[in-house]
């Protein structure tokens, strides 16, 4: 195994989130796309700066940020909430996702996925 947050103690995660384990924006889905709206600024927490760099050249999903930062998704949600609150990033949420009430995607979406898969 390469280096991974799995081998790291909880202390680093505690420092990164300033001890928070809650308070993340609950609307942040695993595949919400994040777009940087500003450049990293001096003095910024390094993880925040890294996210801004990562999302500066195009949108990136929450899980991808998590994988590249090697931080659990829950921790990344907290970091992203900080950046959303300060307007440094914006989020493109998945549109009306299938839910228990309406568990099936729309025919348009399915058709689009089928065409793209056929062309893979």
Partner 1 sequence: MHSTTSEPPAPDAAPVPLLATAEQALKIAVVGGFGVGKTTLVRSVSEIRPLNTEETMTRAGDGVDDLDGVEAKRSTTVAFDFGRITLDATSVLYVFGAPGQERFWFLWDRLFSGALGAVVLVDTRRLADSFYAIDRLEAQGTPFVVAHNDFGESSHGLDEVRSALDLDPGVPLVRCDARERDSAKQVLIALVRHVRSLVTEGSR
Instruction: Give DSSP secondary structure letters for 25-49.
Output: -TT--TT-EEEE-S---TT--HHHH
Closest CA to 110 of 92, 98, 93: 98
Among 38, 68, 85, 86, binds partner 1 (CB under 8 A): 68
Nearest to 75 by CA among 26, 32, 22: 22
Q: Does 74 bind partner 1 (CB under 8 A)?
A: yes
Closest CB 46 distance from partner 1, rounded Å: 16
**Site for partner 1, rule CB under 8 A:** 1-2, 4-6, 21, 29-33, 54-55, 57-61, 63-64, 66-68, 70-75, 92, 94-95, 97-100, 103-107, 109-114, 116-118, 120
């Amino acid at each position: 195994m390469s280096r991974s947050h799995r081998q790291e103690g909880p202390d680093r995660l505690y420092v990164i989130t300033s001890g928070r384990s809650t308070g993340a924006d609950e609307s942040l889905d695993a595949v919400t796309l994040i777009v940087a709206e500003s450049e990293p600024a001096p003095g910024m927490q390094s993880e925040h700066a890294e996210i801004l760099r990562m999302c500066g050249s195009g949108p990136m999903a929450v899980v991808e940020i998590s994988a590249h930062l090697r931080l659990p998704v829950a921790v990344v949600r907290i970091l992203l909430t900080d950046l959303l609150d300060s307007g440094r990033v914006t989020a493109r949420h998945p549109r009306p996702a299938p839910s228990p009430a309406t568990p099936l995607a729309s025919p348009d979406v399915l058709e689009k996925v089928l065409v793209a898969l056929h062309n893979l």
